[in-house]
Structure 1
Amino acid sequence: MSVQLAIRDATTERKGGMATVVFAGSVGTIIEWYDFLIYGTAAALVFNTLFFPNIDPLAGTLASLATYSVGFVARPIGGAIFGHFGDRIGRKVMLMITMVVMALGTFVVGCLPTYQQIGVWAPILLVILRFIQGIGLGGEWGGASLMVIEHAPPGRRGLFGSLVQIGFPLGLVTSSGVFALVTMMPEADFKSWGWRIPFLLSVLLLGVGWFVRARVPETPIFEEIKRRGAISRNPFVEAIFKNPRSFLVAVGLKISEVSWVYILTIFIVVYATSQLNLPRTLLLKAIFIAALVEVITIPLFGWLSDFIGRRIFYFLGTLFTACFAFPLFWLLSTKDPQIIILTVVVALSFGHGTMFGLQSAYFPELFGTRVRYSGASFGFQLSAALGGGFSPIIATALAGYMGGTAGVSMMLILLASITFIATLFATETKGVSLVDVDPELVGATAIGR
């Protein structure tokens, strides 16, 4: 109990700096998501012709999305690497490193020669840089989440954690907004050099993020286990193999939401522009508005989860996804701009925000302090790789070869069922302490408590 009181006092002393902690976590995450998401938009709009010009349009789109998926494959690797050192060295230093890795990788994409200039080396280098992006993002999310919730006062983790999660919609707003601007250029200029602008801007964002994060202290909870000499020798192994149920639940909780959001932001852009002949500016506008709305709904769901719990929103989110999987495409087929925008707004908030908004609090609550970075990061990123990395490719292939979106809808319902089952096996964690009082209990999961 004395350990809990000591950490609670340390957190109380830092309440005045809580705004700085949240701001640093959110701003850095916005930058990371901006860097990661502009690649997805470019893959859907322009990379197929610039880097894969000698194959038919459908195969070129699939190849472009495949390079996009490489970043997702790299994310669990980044989660494992940075999670390991984040649990052994500290949360803050890993956040600084991941930001540099991501920003530099993104900047170099903007400098990359195309297929016409260097031939096959262009797509090869594109894949390598996308892999580097994935490594950076894989370590970013867990560190930012822990930096905030391990500083947060009791009973407010859902709210403060959700403020980290708004980094995604704000990153989506900035990335889609910048691309919406550059796509207004003449087509020749856009394909020649305009598409590079969003990538080159990442260097400027890096300076802002570095300045803000350098001022944030290490979390009092990590400082306490370091003082006690309770650092895990191999946090990754301890998180996965000594806490398999927590790990599998975390993977299952992520799979539906991450697939849903990348179907909305990547596949729909490809499908609507190529099959429905809708203007890409309309889709980018719809995503832009939906992301702005989610900046409000994500903190709302996080705040509510501190009162009524985390699990209820997963049940609601998966049920919405299953029920809306077919109407989503029916509504898009109307080709009515207002209906399309409203459809994307509703789909993003209720099929994504209900679950995503809680994850910065919920996932770390499943693991003990010694392995929290490793367990939460790897579970989150592995599921993101499986659901987010491959769902746009599978959906594009299904729509192309089946001649419709029924297969895509069935896939979304199946993934929602997986998350629904994972929620059944999960337990409520909103009242769980993040402090490991007994060293012998460090690493115990919220499920086993």
Structure 2
Amino acid sequence: MSVETGNARRAAAGAFIGTTIEFYDFYVYATAAALVLGQLFFPGDNVHLSTLAAFGTFAVGFIARPLAGVVFGHLGDRLGRKKMLLVTMGIMGAATTGIGLLPTYAVIGYWAPVGLVALRLLQGISVGGEWGGAVLMASENAPSGRKTFYASFAQLGSPAGLLLTLIVFKLVSLLSEREFLAWGWRVPFLVGSLLMLAGLYIRSGVRESAEFAAVIASRDTAKFPIAEVVRDSWREIVCAALAVTIGTAGFFFTNTFMITYVTQYLGVSRSVILDCLFVVTVIQFVSQPASALLAQKVGETRFLQGAAGLCILAPYPMFWLVCTKNVYLMTAGIALSVVLLSAVYAVIAGYITQVFPARVRYSGISLSYQLCSALASGTAPVIGTLLAERYAGQWTPLAVFFSLLSVLSLLGICGLAKLNKGRRVGDAGEPAAQPSGA
């Protein structure tokens, strides 16, 4: 194995482990918001309103992400990818630990939700700066022609982090309801602090991105990266933000919102839906790298267009199967949608990194991804909850909402293909060879 290949594999592994820990912390909050945070921090007689308030704080974390993407994108394009990844992991670990130690409304009153919102903002800032750097550390160190596959390892941290989340919540769900509400819900957050220490150690041993090192060596760093990328590539930013919609917002819909939907509106127990989502996430973990490999063979544009098109149709059989309340059929229905949307998610990261020059790439992909996160991902569970309450007993409006998210992704993918006209930005910002299927 060559030195370059070894560096590429270490970078991909570091991106995977780092994003696994970051997403674990993020999903711990999402799962807790669906299960318990509403009644502990927003108590009231109306369970629907308490859950909606908890999902509101979930959305707050996404609101912070575009600003974080701008700040960390600028610093990452000026100072390097590795430094930013160490900072973001430290912020996430501190925020998650803080939530695990935060007194509830019954102890400190209104200061409890205020503290929860503040710590959730810190989580959003962390993930907002994390994603772009992790993707670039993997893709910019990758061998030629394999950037999409290597970038998918950063995306693989999402299902891995969710698996860890579901395992920990499954264990604490074995407690009695009284114990779970008293202290059990804190355990997943405190576990995150231990994972953060491990992540910092691993990331400290990964070398800087090869492509960014080349930019530094040539003294070609941008003075104001965010201004440059917005001025020169604003159309690409808009299309990339649309393109990632179903891979991000759709995921929180099929996982975070689905927990609330089946427990509160279908009467399915918490343990059953957690078991379903665990199996679905295992399937996702296996299917994502397979999707990235397939995309390299058939052409990334063609693959993404096909996957997004199938996502438009997926929610109708999903809800039909979920409403049977049969655990096996529920798992099959959710898995169908998740496999398709995660196919987009696995490939889109490497796809959009090639749209922007290396000197402003951190800023470009971070702004694109985090704009989508703020506008669509954080609001997906909220909109789902509002639709479920407004159209109680009807799942068609929920399926239509999922389809609309898929349409946005398809429009963004087609827009990028048209803007590029069969060309990609190469490693140093020069037009590269036409990708297959473009």
Once residues 353 and 429 of structure 2 are traced to their aligned partners in structure 1, the CA distance between those partners, rounded to angstroms, is 17
Answer yes or no: is 1:217 the counterpart of 2:207. Answer: yes
Q: Distance in 2 between matches of 1:437 and 1:381?
A: 22
- Aligned residue in 2 for 1:66: 56
Matches within 5 A, 1:207-246: 207-246=197-236
Which residue of structure 1 lines up, in the alignment, with residue 17 of structure 2? Answer: 27
What's the CA shift for 1:141? Answer: 0.8
Task: Return the letter of the residue paired with 2:213.
Answer: E
Distance 1:321 1:18 in 2: 32
> Alignment partner for residue 373 of structure 1, among 340, 346, 362?
362
Cα offset, 1:433, TM superposition: 5.7
Contact 1:157 1:306 in 2 (8 A): no
Per-residue CA deviation, residues 56-110 of structure 1 (Å, 9 max, x unaligned), is 1111111010001111111112111111100000000000000000111001100
> Structure 2: any 5+ residue segments left out of the alignment?
none
* Alignment pair present for 1:396 and 2:388: no
Match of residue 263 from structure 1 = 253
Contact 2:314 2:336 (C-alpha < 8 Å) held by counterparts? no
Contact 2:292 2:346 in 1 (8 A): yes
Match in the other structure for 2:293:
303
Identify the residue that residue 343 of structure 2 maps to in structure 1.
354
Given that 1:43 and 1:68 are in contact with CA atoms closer than 8 Å, whether structure 2 keeps it comes out as yes
Structure 1 stretches of at least 4 aligned residues deviating more than 6 Å after TM superposition: 428-431
Question: For the residues of structure 2 that align with 1:100 and 1:341, how far apart are their CA atoms?
Answer: 35
Deviation at 1:431, TM superposition (A): 8.0
**1:159 pairs with 149, 153, 172, which one?**
149
Cα distance change, pair 356–437 in 1 and its aligned pair in 2 (3 A): closer
Q: Give the letter for the 1:382 counterpart.
A: L
Q: Is the 8 A contact 2:355 2:425 kept in 1?
A: no
Which amino acid in structure 2 is aligned with residue 319 of structure 1?
A: G
The one-letter code of the counterpart of 2:258 is I
Task: Report deviation, 1:229.
Answer: 1.5
Please tell me whether residue 331 in structure 1 is matched to residue 321 in structure 2. Answer: yes
Which residue identity lines up with residue 377 of structure 1 in the other structure? S
> Sequence identity, in percent?
33
Structure 1 distance, partners of 2:307, 2:396, is: 21
Deviation at 1:349, TM superposition (A): 0.9
Q: Does 1:254 align with 2:244?
A: yes
Q: Which moved more, 1:127-136 or 1:297-306?
A: 297-306
Distance 1:234 1:362 in 2: 24
Structure 1: distance between partners of 2:179 and 2:112 = 20
- Aligned AA for 1:419? S
Residue 437 (structure 1) shift: 6.3
- Residue aligned with 2:417, SS: coil
Distance 1:161 1:437, change over 3 A: closer
Shift of 1:220: 1.9
**Aligned-partner Cα distance in 2 for 1:272–1:417:** 25
Residue-by-residue CA offset, 1:304-328 (whole Å, 9 max, x unaligned): 2222222223222222222122222
Q: Is the 8 A contact 2:246 2:344 kept in 1?
A: no
1:144 alignment partner in structure 2: 134
- RMSD of equivalent CA atoms: 2.1
User: Contact 2:24–2:162 at 8 Å: present in 1 too?
Assistant: yes
Question: Quick one: which amino acid aligns to residue 124 of structure 1?
Answer: V
Deviations, residues 397-434 of structure 1 (Å, cap 9, x unaligned):
11102222222222122222222122222229898463
The residue identity in structure 1 corresponding to 2:384 is A
Paired residues of 2:92 and 2:122 also in contact (CA < 8 A): yes
The one of 165, 173, 182 aligned to 1:183: 173
Larger mean CA deviation between 68-77 and 81-90 belongs to 68-77
Q: Distance in 2 between matches of 1:147 and 1:55?
A: 48
> 1: distance between equivalents of 2:302 and 2:277?
26
**More moved, 410-419 vs 208-217:** 410-419
Task: Give me the whole-angstrom Cα distance separating, in 1, the residues matched to 2:109 and 2:24.
Answer: 28
Q: Which residue matches 1:17?
A: 7
Task: Say whether the 8 Å CA contact 2:356–2:429 is kept in structure 1.
Answer: no
Describe the superposition over 1:219-250 as per-residue Cα deviations: whole angstroms up to 9, x where unpaired.
Answer: 12111111222111111111122101110110
